Amino acid sequence: MPDSDLDFDFDLFTIGAGSGGVAASRRAGEYGARVAICEELRIGGTCVMRGCVPKKLLMYGASFSEHLEDATGFGWEVGEPTLDWPKLMAAKEAELDRLENIYRRLLADSKVALIEGRGRLIDAHTVEVAGKRYTAKYILIATGGWPALPQIPGIEHAITSNEALELEQLPKRLTIVGGGYIGVEFAGIFSAAGSRVTMLLRGDNVLRGFDSEIRERLAEAMRARGIEINTEVQVRSIDKRSSGALSLLLDHDEFIETDALIYATGRAPNSRDIGLEEVGVKLRSDGGVVVDERNRTAVPNIYAVGDVTHRINLTPVAINEGRAMAETLFNKNPIIMDRRNIATAVFSRPPVGTVGLTEAEAREQHESVEVYCSRFRPMKATISGREDRVVVKLVVDKPSGVVLGAHMIGDDAPEIVQGLAVAIKCGATKRDFDATVGIHPTAAEEFVTMRFPVPED
Ligand code: NDP
């Protein structure tokens, strides 16, 4: 092993140029560290190339059908709108190309060397990429995750979010297995684009883990948009017919036929076959890399951030973890990321925004809890005629008045909840919310005008 830092090729070698890896590498490069990053797929990783960004672009594109429907109530004559799906996909692809170039430029601007190919650990200080070996004082594992599919007969006929974001033709009938983030978001996109969407959930409702009020309202709204949601059902096997259609055998011996099948049944960390365990990095049984609060693995000079650690699998979390690591190692600014009250959104139709504890979690963790909830028809729906209800909800610790959680379903919920997350991070109380003057007319003002708690049963 080299004696001094300069005997290593790099100070930091990052495996994986997704959100976490790029953020950490750039920050380290900006502090003068000699940094390299390797990537086997497209630069930008899951979020930019196969997740958040293309998903949201397609959601914007598909949702115009809803805006056009709403417009007729306001007097617009819009005729029979049609979506040119290949045109939308091409526009999305062009945007991803543009973003990938920006990522390359940002890495170069931060003096991070980009090495294309799959990285593999040879020892605690050596990474091999495309047959070439590089040594580094520190190594960062930021390899992300990949869709996980249950092993049932015929599963090879199913696609995942990766392929769904690249479908050349819009399927007439689409079935989605799984009702988590990806399941409900893709159901929203494809139904708005014109597919007939059926969801198959093994549980009793969508978005397990979210506030029950929000889950119920979302399922209602999705059904009102023509999405069929079947609960407590499992797929036993999948068969491909000569017509190209897929036939699904369900667990109560029922068959359904579909043109495309998306499995959105969770994601698994990309932690295998890159030499981690061989050099002493510990993995949990779910494949997540074990790290401490400073993102350090069982090998002291090897760090891991983002989805490969399978903690909170969200882009901004990976970015924060990556930057905390770089600040700690290369700027003498040790940071332990605060993982409390991380806001999140689901870009369903309508979207969901949430921060802090759900009502059920709060009742479990706190002795006395008050809930404030408002359900109302948004102003736009009065004229558009859409049967939509917004729900806003605050969960409050009764003795202290501290707001423990804020939840919303309705247009702009993600934008609104981002602001509330700051207040909750600062420990805002219900009194602080009450003392805040609302902005009228908005849906957001409901968060500061709810007077009476929901009566206890
Ligand atoms: P989720 O864990 O959110 O949801 C998985 C869904 O699949 C659940 O409904 C689960 O059911 C179901 N499921 C799991 N295994 C099976 C199985 N064997 N058979 C049938 N159903 C099954 O995973 P996603 O794939 O939707 O998303 C992965 C992660 O990506 C998210 O958890 C999130 O961290 C991230 N993400 C974030 C987004 C955002 O921030 N907007 C968008 C997209 C993804 P049950 O509820 O019963 O467990």
Q: Is residue 172 part of a domain?
A: yes
| Same domain membership, residue 172 and residue 43 | no
pLDDT at 252 (0 to 100): 85
- The two tokens of residue 174 are 């689409």
How far is the centre of ligand 1, averaged over its atoms, from the C-alpha of 124 (Å)? 33
Q: Is residue 118 part of a domain?
A: yes
Q: How many domains does the chain have?
A: 3
Q: Is residue 338 part of a domain?
A: no
| Same domain membership, residue 274 and residue 259 | no
Is the CB–ligand 1 distance for residue 264 below 6 Å?
yes
Residues annotated catalytic, as ranges: 440
pLDDT at 178 (0 to 100): 98
Q: Burial of 242 by CB count in 10 Å (0-12 exposed, 13-18 middle, 19+ buried)? A: exposed
| Same domain membership, residue 407 and residue 273 | no
> Which of 265, 298, 321 is a domain's end point?
265
How far is the centre of ligand 1, averaged over its atoms, from the C-alpha of 178 (Å)? 6
Q: Burial of 221 by CB count in 10 Å (0-12 exposed, 13-18 middle, 19+ buried)? A: buried
Is the CB–ligand 1 distance for residue 210 below 6 Å?
no
How far is the centre of ligand 1, averaged over its atoms, from the C-alpha of 345 (Å)? 14
Tell me the per-residue pLDDT of 20-53, one tens digit each, with 9 for 90 and over.
999 999 999 999 999 999 999 999 999 999 999 9
Q: What share of the chain is helix, strand, coil (3-state, %, to 5)?
A: 35, 25, 40
Which ligand 1 atom is the nearest neighbour of the CA of 182? 26
Which ligand 1 atom is the nearest neighbour of the CA of 267? 28
Is 18 one of the annotated binding-site residues?
no
Q: Is residue 455 part of a domain?
A: no
> Which of 265, 280, 301 is a domain's end point?
265
Q: Which residue's C-alpha comes closest to atom 16 of ligand 1?
A: 265
Report how far residue 359's alpha carbon sits from residue 90's, in angstroms, rounded to the nearest whole number: 43
Element containing residue 236 per DSSP (H, E): strand 235-240
Is the CB–ligand 1 distance for residue 150 below 6 Å?
yes
Q: Is residue 300 part of a domain?
A: yes
Is the CB–ligand 1 distance for residue 314 below 6 Å?
yes
Kindly report the CATH number assigned to the domain that includes residue 51.
3.50.50.60
Question: Could you tell me where the beta strands, DSSP code E, fall in 97-131?
Answer: 112-116, 119-123, 126-129
Kindly report the CATH number assigned to the domain that includes residue 378.
3.30.390.30
Segments forming the whole domain that contains residue 367:
344-448
Which ligand 1 atom is the nearest neighbour of the CA of 181? 26
Report how far residue 83's alpha carbon sits from residue 60's, in angstroms, rounded to the nearest whole number: 12
| Same domain membership, residue 141 and residue 19 | yes
pLDDT at 4 (0 to 100): 66
Tell me the per-residue pLDDT of 181-216, one tens digit each, with 9 for 90 and over.
999 999 999 999 999 999 999 999 999 999 999 999
| Same domain membership, residue 141 and residue 10 | yes
Is the CB–ligand 1 distance for residue 180 below 6 Å?
yes
Angle (CA) 107 113 115, round 5°? 110
User: What one-character-per-residue DSSP string does 38-80 give?
Assistant: EESS-TTHIIIIISHHHHHHHHHHHHHHHHHHHHHHTT----S
| Same domain membership, residue 256 and residue 203 | yes
| Same domain membership, residue 226 and residue 80 | no
pLDDT at 198 (0 to 100): 98
Q: Which residue's C-alpha comes closest to atom 30 of ligand 1?
A: 313
pLDDT at 457 (0 to 100): 73
Residue whose tokens read 């004229």: 383
Is 306 one of the annotated binding-site residues?
no
Q: How many CB atoms lie within 10 A of CB 141?
A: 30
pLDDT at 18 (0 to 100): 98
- Decide the pairing of beta strands 344-346 and 352-356: antiparallel
Report how far residue 176's alpha carbon sits from residue 206's, in angstroms, rounded to the nearest whole number: 12
At 37, the amino acid letter reads I
| Same domain membership, residue 410 and residue 282 | no
Q: Is residue 50 part of a domain?
A: yes
Report how far residue 232's alpha carbon sits from residue 203's, in angstroms, rounded to the nearest whole number: 5
How far is the centre of ligand 1, averaged over its atoms, from the C-alpha of 189 (Å)? 16
For the entire predicted model, the pTM comes to 0.97
Is the CB–ligand 1 distance for residue 263 below 6 Å?
no
> Which of 278, 302, 330 is a domain's end point?
330
| Same domain membership, residue 409 and residue 321 | no
Report how far residue 42's alpha carbon sits from residue 99's, in angstroms, rounded to the nearest whole number: 10
Q: DSSP class of residue 310?
A: -
| Same domain membership, residue 298 and residue 187 | no
Which ligand 1 atom is the nearest neighbour of the CA of 208? 46
- Helix, strand or coil for residue 280? coil
pLDDT at 456 (0 to 100): 84
Gap between the terminal Cα atoms of the chain: 67
Written as tens digits, the pLDDT of the chain (457 aa) is 455 677 999 999 999 999 999 999 999 999 999 999 999 999 999 999 999 999 999 999 999 999 999 999 999 999 999 999 999 999 999 999 999 999 999 999 999 999 999 999 999 999 999 999 999 999 999 999 999 999 999 999 999 999 999 999 999 999 999 999 999 999 999 999 999 999 999 999 999 999 999 999 999 999 999 999 999 999 999 999 999 999 999 998 999 999 999 999 999 999 999 999 999 999 999 999 999 999 999 999 999 999 999 999 999 999 999 999 999 999 999 999 999 999 999 999 999 999 999 999 999 999 999 999 999 999 999 999 998 899 999 999 999 999 999 999 999 999 999 999 999 999 999 999 999 999 999 999 999 999 999 998 7
How far is the centre of ligand 1, averaged over its atoms, from the C-alpha of 217 (Å)? 19
Q: Is residue 337 part of a domain?
A: no
| Same domain membership, residue 11 and residue 137 | yes
Q: Is residue 339 part of a domain?
A: no
| Same domain membership, residue 433 and residue 363 | yes
